[in-house]
Amino acid sequence: MSMATCSESSFCIIVTTLLLSISFASAQQRAFFVFGDSLVDSGNNDFLATTARADAPPYGIDFPTHRPTGRFSNGLNIPDIISEQLGLEPTLPYLSPLLIGEKLLVGANFASAGIGILNDTGFQFLHIIHIYKQLKLFQHYQQRLSAHIGAEEAWRHVNQALVLITLGGNDFVNNYYLVPYSARSRQFSLPDYVIYIISEYRLILKRLYDLGARRVLVTGTGPMGCVPAELALRSGNGECDVELQRAASLFNPQLVEMVKGLNREIGAHVFIAVNAYEMNMDFVNNPRAYGFVTSKIACCGQGPFNGMGLCSPISNLCPNRDLYAFWDPFHPSEKANRIIVQQMMTGSVQYMHPMNLSTIMAIDSRV
Ligand SMILES: *[C@@H]1O[C@H](CO)[C@@H](O)[C@H](O)[C@H]1NC(C)=O
Ligand SMILES: *[C@@H]1O[C@H](CO)[C@@H](O)[C@H](O)[C@H]1NC(C)=O
């Protein structure tokens, strides 16, 4: 760096070091906020009276502490790996008593296993943090942050943050298809239901924008018919369930269109559509190419495909979690989460629309 004021080399070094440390500090301090369901819950449900929880072994077996943390993973989950890739501290669950003081600057994770786009999704899990409650807690968070660093600085911190929202899977698995002749399936045909939940999702994203979010990764659903739970429940032969796959194939393209429409309306690339379906399908279709022995059998579970019931201390447990695409009947292993986040970072426009996370980080660091 050459500066006109560099008359003495020692002064130059000081200026350069100062500039470097300032840009380092601001890069370090980009906050990360997470909203959504069990795919991204980092432990909020441990603080709630709900049946949707991952607080018993062998959950967390490959986490640095080797203990359950509330994450629905053998180790790290998708938000953890995003933080890791971006050089950020992992975000704490919003309900954690450790989320105080300086830690507020890191961001917060509001996600709660079991929830969906709709308020009635996941009612069977009792006390979970539905999405509008998560947004309410985001407001509380902003008040606390304002008290800490001032309102103006807090608003800027939120504007400059990265946000991840993961919703939709439970609106099918734990609502529309929860039981035969569910209330929602009697109310709506599948195509009409998809239109309805997309319109509700749109309201949620607009609310997030109104609350200050300006860079939001919006994930679609994975291949819901291919998870071990659905193979056990609905498929005799290990073929992905056609009906749930149809739901995913209706929902995901409409989500992308909705996101594009919102961006047009706002006039900026605020929302980034993450093609979680393709990211998962890559290793579901071709597990060996990704170092897995299977994408059909869960590492932890019981019954056909280890897909029946929950992963618990008495379940079958595979010795090497890295060889399994699915950790439990519904959730990817840490290894699979790493493959997903890698595509988020550097994937082509087929995976990340309109751009991948490394491009976003490069653009945003220039502003
Ligand atoms: C869901 O609940 C929120 C807040 O309680 C409310 O604003 C919203 O309208 C509800 N959505 C539907 C579809 O009822
Ligand atoms: C990530 O995005 C950038 C910019 O859009 C692009 O140049 C790059 O090729 C993308 N990565 C891949 C692997 O496509």
**62 three-state secondary structure:** coil
- Relative to beta strand 216-219, strand 271-274 is parallel
Nearest ligand by distance to the CA of 136: 1
Instruction: Give residue 119 CA to ligand 2 midpoint distance, Å.
Output: 37
Q: Give the model's pLDDT for residue 47.
A: 81
Q: Are the C-beta atoms of residues 225 and 240 closer than 8 Å to each other? A: yes
Alpha-carbon distance of 26 to 214, in angstroms, equals 17
Nearest ligand by distance to the CA of 133: 1
Q: Give the model's pLDDT for residue 126.
A: 86
132 lines ligand 1 (CB under 6 A): yes
What residue has token string 């009276």? 49
The least confident of 115-124, 276-285, 345-354 is 115-124
CA torsion angle for 78, 117, 138, 33 (degrees, to 10)? 20
Q: Give the model's pLDDT for residue 155.
A: 96
21 lines ligand 1 (CB under 6 A): no
Q: b/e map of 353-364 (b: 16 or more CB within 10 Å)?
A: beebbeebbeee
Alpha-carbon distance of 235 to 67, in angstroms, equals 33
Strand (E) positions, the chain? 32-36, 107-109, 162-166, 216-219, 271-274, 300-301, 316-317, 352-353
Q: Which CATH code fits 21-277+354-366?
A: 3.40.50
Active-site annotation, residues = 38, 328, 331
**168 three-state secondary structure:** coil
Side-by-side strand order, sheet with 32-36: 107-109, 32-36, 162-166, 216-219, 271-274, 352-353
DSSP at 154: H
For the CA of 118, the nearest atom of ligand 1: 13
Q: How many Cα atoms occupy the beta-carbon half-sphere of 186 within 13 Å?
A: 5
Alpha-carbon distance of 63 to 321, in angstroms, equals 12
Determine the average pLDDT of the residues in 178-201.
Answer: 97
Q: Does residue 77 surpass a pLDDT of 80?
A: yes
Neighbour-count burial of 196, counting CB atoms closer than 10 A to its CB (0-12 exposed, 13-18 middle, 19+ buried): middle
Task: Express each pLDDT in 247-287 by its tens digit.
Answer: 999 999 999 999 999 999 999 999 999 999 999 999 999 99
Instruction: Give residue 356 CA to ligand 2 midpoint distance, Å.
Output: 6
Q: b/e map of 125-136 (b: 16 or more CB within 10 Å)?
A: beebbbbeebbe
Q: Does residue 23 surpass a pLDDT of 50?
A: no
Higher per-residue confidence, 60 vs 7: 60
Whole-Å CA distances, 103 to 129, 157, 165, 247: 22, 13, 21, 39
Q: Are the C-beta atoms of residues 315 and 257 closer than 8 Å to each other? A: no
**183 three-state secondary structure:** helix
Q: Does residue 119 surpass a pLDDT of 80?
A: yes
Q: Does residue 10 surpass a pLDDT of 60?
A: no
Mutate to test the pocket of ligand 2, among 357, 359, 363 (most ligand atoms within 8 A of CB): 359
